[in-house]
Chains A and B, each alone.
Chain A
Amino acid sequence: MLQSLNMRATVLAFAFLAVILGIWEMANQAPKAKEALTEYEILMGGADQEARVPPPSKVIGLAVEELSDPFYDKGPNDKGIGIQLGYSVYRVLSGYFMAAVIAIPIGFLIGMSPLMQKAMNPFIQVLRPISPLAWMPLALFIIKDSEASSIFVIFICSIWPMLINTAFGVANVRKDWLNVARTHELSPLRTAFTVILPAAAPTILTGMRISIGIAWLVIVAAEMLVGGTGIGYYVWNEWNNLDLTSVIFSILMIGIVGMLLDMALSGATRLVTYKE
């Protein structure tokens, strides 16, 4: 039954894909010139074709071409899609792990101590709603390096969901389980590692999953801003080149990489989730 449900869903998904691609392809057929072009149209060079969104066939063609050699490097303005994505993923992961290293211990502290919770709360409430890109000028001024600045922006946007979820997960560990630790005379450190961490792990990982999603959203914008390398820069550069086929192709790649990052985190979440 389940298998047949999956089967039917797959078939339906392919059907949707076919319909979407079909409509997209059709809508982009150049109109047959039934009537004589108006003077205006002639002036515009009959540039009809170029002004249209490229059809899927062209995008697929480009995808095959790009993905068959994703890592070529022919100077600053012509690098393979793999290299550009690689830069972006590298920045996301660096900023993200730096954030995790800081957010999770602080989250523990806040979750375990009501005093810390009260003392830190105003800072979190003020800093959290700031758009990560708003930090960019300050980061560029202080760090004086565009690469490090984008990593910093990723760091700052990843930190909040992890911090808040860790604090929440830690603060809400069942009193009974903590009592088990207490009656077994566990040291605070052992309690943290053998009881609180496994108990809060699903909540912490949910925060980490939200963070990686936000980080991937933000890196594209950050790279558009600072330029140089990365998938965000690539999209903007192709737009400046008016190469819409490449723009659409890279949009799809951004989606696919984002999905893979999310799948990795959801897999990790499943590993630490426990049933009661």
Chain B
Amino acid sequence: MTAVHYFVEAENLSKRFKTKDGELTVFENANFGIHKGEFVCIIGHSGCGKSTIMNILAGLDGASDGALFMDMKEVGGPALERGVVFQNYSLLPWLSALKNVTFGVRARWPQWSREQVREHAYKYLQMVGLGDGAEERKPFELSGGMRQRVSIARAFAIEPKLLLLDEPFGALDALTRGNIQDELLKIWSETHQTVFMITHDVDEAILLADRILLMTNGPYARIAESVKVDIPRPRDRTTIIHDPGYYPIRNHLVDFLVMRSKELAGGPGAEREVKAETGKPDGYVRVFPAEVNPARDIEALPSEQAAQAANQ
């Protein structure tokens, strides 16, 4: 578990907020990584701290303790190499759909000509199924699904090294969500960007992700497990459920959300028995989430073992 070099790596990341009732520790000593080109989802109950983690990944907010690295460099603030799709779209309402995308493109490539910027932006709008006049509309004239498409196009168009999506489909109806998931899959298979996405939809996570991080309830939330989604690509929403790995993974995730997310919730200093790592000063401990592959180890499902694995 040591010496793995991730593209994005969180090292004993902690976040505490000062509130009226004292200090709130959202999570403490979180360790996880994302490989280049990997699509990682994080699942957890509402309020466990997923958006907080994402804000730190985006550089919008700083960690209280620990460090975050991308490409071997510490993340110190927001940057164009990390694109963000916000939970509530965050389009600029006074700009047309196209202008919202060119806004990002121009910031990314200031030396480009107006025409070049426009073309590039339009290409990405088309990739998410917008165009033919819809690009000239203002956000208030677009449906929720179309707004989210614009927001995704804006993030992909700047071709960031890491793409962060915060429950991008949370507010959409099932049909629209399905369509945009397909578009996201398509655009991702073309660009192979590194993606970190928050969701609370188990099926969505299985369809999209290479790996799913499971987050326990807060406060003192922990990233308890890293679940491999061992289902070949290209995946398709209608056929993926017939894959033999699908239900084992799904059951594992649901079991976690329903039962274990509460049981595994940490407390102050939880599960950090002193365990010196080689090459690091004494007392330096990094606990990574337990790695599980429910599609393979169909036996390794029960809560007991996973809980123990997390504590190893």
Chain A residues within 8 Å of B, Cβ to Cβ: 176-177, 179-180, 182-186, 194-195, 198-199, 272, 274-276
* Complex interface: chain A residues within 8 A of B94 (CB): 198-199, 272, 274
Q: Are B78 and A185 in contact (CB under 8 A)?
A: yes
Contact of A177 among B79, B92, B104, B108 (CB under 8 A): B92
Complex interface: stretch among B83-91, B119-127, B222-230: B83-91
Q: Is B178 an interface residue (CB 8 A)?
A: no
* Complex interface: chain A residues within 8 A of B82 (CB): 183
Q: Using A183-B60, A186-B107, A275-B140 as known contacts, say yes or no to A177 and B90 having CB atoms under 8 A apart.
A: yes
Q: Are A176 and B78 in contact (CB under 8 A)?
A: no
Closest to B89 in A: A176
Chain B residues within 8 Å of A, Cβ to Cβ: 58-60, 77-80, 82-84, 86, 88, 90, 92-94, 103-104, 107-108, 138-140, 158
Give Cα A186 to B139, complex, Å.
Answer: 22
CB distance from B32 to the nearest CB of A (A): 21
* Complex interface: chain B residues within 8 A of A183 (CB): 58-60, 78-80, 82-84
* Complex interface: chain A residues within 8 A of B80 (CB): 183-185
Sampled A-B contacts (20; CB under 8 Å)? A176-B88, A177-B90, A179-B60, A179-B78, A179-B90, A182-B60, A182-B78, A183-B58, A183-B60, A183-B79, A183-B80, A183-B83, A184-B103, A184-B104, A184-B158, A199-B94, A274-B93, A274-B138, A275-B93, A276-B140
* Complex interface: chain A residues within 8 A of B92 (CB): 177, 180, 195, 198-199
* Complex interface: chain B residues within 8 A of A272 (CB): 94
CB distance from A19 to the nearest CB of B (A): 43
Closest to B155 in A: A183
Closest to B87 in A: A176
Q: Are A180 and B90 in contact (CB under 8 A)?
A: yes
Give Cα A144 to B254, complex, Å.
Answer: 82
* Complex interface: chain A residues within 8 A of B138 (CB): 274-275
CB distance from B97 to the nearest CB of A (A): 14
* Complex interface: chain B residues within 8 A of A177 (CB): 90, 92
Q: Are B107 and A185 in contact (CB under 8 A)?
A: yes
Closest to B80 in A: A185
Give Cα A199 to B90, complex, Å.
Answer: 13
Q: Are B90 and A276 in contact (CB under 8 A)?
A: no
Give Cα A276 to B92, complex, Å.
Answer: 9
CB distance from A170 to the nearest CB of B (A): 15
CB distance from A3 to the nearest CB of B (A): 25
Counting chain B CB atoms within 10 Å of each CB, the highest count among A182, A183, A198, A275 belongs to A183
* Complex interface: chain A residues within 8 A of B104 (CB): 184
Closest to A179 in B: B60
Q: Which 9 A-B pairs have the closest CB atoms?
A: A274-B94, A184-B107, A275-B140, A176-B90, A182-B78, A183-B78, A274-B93, A276-B93, A198-B94
Give Cα A276 to B108, complex, Å.
Answer: 26
Give Cα A219 to B139, complex, Å.
Answer: 43
Give Cα A180 to B155, complex, Å.
Answer: 10
CB distance from A66 to the nearest CB of B (A): 44
Give Cα A186 to B106, complex, Å.
Answer: 10
- Contacts A184-B108, A276-B93 given; 10 further ones with Cβ under 8 A? A176-B86, A180-B86, A180-B90, A182-B60, A182-B78, A184-B158, A185-B80, A272-B94, A276-B139, A276-B140
Give Cα A178 to B84, complex, Å.
Answer: 13
CB distance from A211 to the nearest CB of B (A): 23
CB distance from A256 to the nearest CB of B (A): 33
Closest to A177 in B: B92
CB distance from B56 to the nearest CB of A (A): 13
Counting chain A CB atoms within 10 Å of each CB, the highest count among B107, B108, B140 belongs to B107
Closest to B94 in A: A274
Q: Are B139 and A179 in contact (CB under 8 A)?
A: no
Closest to B104 in A: A184
CB distance from A54 to the nearest CB of B (A): 51
* Complex interface: chain B residues within 8 A of A274 (CB): 93-94, 138, 140
Closest to A184 in B: B107
Give Cα A186 to B110, complex, Å.
Answer: 11
Closest to A272 in B: B94
Give Cα A182 to B55, complex, Å.
Answer: 12
CB distance from B279 to the nearest CB of A (A): 35
Closest to B86 in A: A176
Q: Are A185 and B103 in contact (CB under 8 A)?
A: no
CB distance from B294 to the nearest CB of A (A): 35
Closest to B81 in A: A185
CB distance from B124 to the nearest CB of A (A): 15
Give Cα A87 to B240, complex, Å.
Answer: 78
CB distance from B165 to the nearest CB of A (A): 13
Give Cα A184 to B84, complex, Å.
Answer: 9
Counting chain A CB atoms within 10 Å of each CB, the highest count among B82, B92, B104 belongs to B92
* Complex interface: chain B residues within 8 A of A182 (CB): 60, 77-78
* Complex interface: chain B residues within 8 A of A179 (CB): 60, 78, 84, 86, 90
